[in-house]
Amino acid sequence: MRYFHVVRKDRSAFPFQFYVDRHGVEHMLEHGGHTSSFGVLPTKDELDFVHVHVRADFVRAGEERWDLPESEWVRVAAAAIEAWLKNETIPEDHFNRMDMILVDQFWYPQAADGSPRMLVDPYEFDVVTDEPWPTDQGILVPVVDDHPALSGAAAPPADGAVKRVVFGFTVDVFPGRLLIGYEQFKRKAAEANLGVQVELARLSDLPPNTFLLLVPAELAEAARQAAPECRIEVVEDSVNSPIFDSIIREIRAENAQASASRLIVMPAERVEE
């Protein structure tokens, strides 16, 4: 299975005037339609941001046929994103595979009664697919083959070994916001050139050299039992957590101290007179 976390973005100030089809041809968007934008993590087909445009004539037909007010079309747009993530068939002329999905009477996400399918919460939601993926949680967790399986506790890092910062989860507890936090911290760590490896891992299979384990509050006790020798940080909200910058500053200071301790001052060479 594969997991996606979707957040609706406010693009009300963006002038949606046209879209480009998969052949590179520009098409004008008519007035009176409904356009919503969604951010997707992790990316799918290298897309992390997709717009959904419901054509004006379908909006009018929806009001007449199903009594759908303007406020409900964002739910239909979210269902279109869900359909794409679940690999439901979308006609070629309705998805340019770059940034725009079109919804009209010829294609729309359908409920069992033929009406437009709608999501309960279109502003932030998770999508689980049946797509085969390397882990049972739908995330590409790095697989390390050069170490034996661990019972849970991470081994202390050896000299010169790459330290790992791990975002921990379990089969039962894996909030979508943890994934967003993982992506944010991984990017921050790379930009700061910390020399650490950031990973996602099940608490039952932590990699070696894990010196910091970040978990949601509901996994705090499970993390302490799984890795009693490891430093554990509980992250209340993984999205834009202030603890990320604090950790990066701390690691940077530790790296600087370690570099300074390795400096060797060579005595000046004596010059014979």
For the stretch 159-168, pLDDT in tens is 456 789 999 9
Confidence tier at 180 by pLDDT (50, 70, 90): confident
> Are 155 and 208 contacting, i.e. CB atoms less than 8 angstroms apart?
yes
The pLDDT value recorded for residue 261 is 62
- CA angle 20-24-29, nearest 5°? 20
Average pLDDT over residues 52-62: 93
> Once rounded to an integer, what is the mean pLDDT over residues 219-223?
94
Q: Would you mind telling me the total number of residues written for the chain in this entry?
A: 273
Q: How open is the CA angle 237-184-180, to the nearest 5 degrees?
A: 55
Q: At what angle do helices 56-65 and 73-85 cross, to 10 degrees?
A: 110
Helix (H) or strand (E) holding 57, with range, is helix 56-65
Q: Which uninterrupted H or E stretch holds 49?
A: strand 47-54
Q: What is the mean pLDDT of the chain?
A: 80
pLDDT mean over 125-133: 79
Residue 206 · residue 226 · CB < 8 Å:
yes
Domains of the chain (ranges, CATH numbers): 2-129 (no CATH), 164-261 (3.40.50.2300)
pLDDT at 161: 63
Cα–Cα distance, 213 to 206 (Å, whole number): 9
Of the pLDDT bands very low, low, confident and very high (cuts 50, 70, 90), residue 108 is: very high
What pLDDT sits at residue 11? 57
